[in-house]
Amino acid sequence: MRASAALSVVAGNQTATAAPTLAERIGRLQAQARNLAREHIAALEAAMAEVERLSGEIADGGEAYPVGVREIARRLAAECEAGGNTIKALAGRS
């Protein structure tokens, strides 16, 4: 059986790196927040598209659905489409 060699850390090979400044940390956090906001907006757009799709199906569902429900679904589909387009336009500018 072979004895294992002891390992040690050699301090002379390390280069010192300066800690990030407060401004650098803030910049990184702001960039991270912007990226997360973009993801959140994309999730909202997807949810609105799904509501638009479902509302359109109900609005066009004929007499299987009550008249009032079809009318609300028709308006909701139009609002989701318009709102989704507005969000896409606004998010594209930032």
Per residue in 23-78, pLDDT (tens digit) is 999 999 999 999 999 999 999 999 999 999 999 999 999 999 999 999 999 999 99
Which residue did the predictor score with more confidence, 2 or 62? 62
CB 44 within 8 A of CB 91: no
| Single pTM value for the model | 0.71
CA angle 18, 23, 26 (to 5 degrees): 110
Which residue did the predictor score with more confidence, 2 or 27? 27
pLDDT value of residue 15: 72
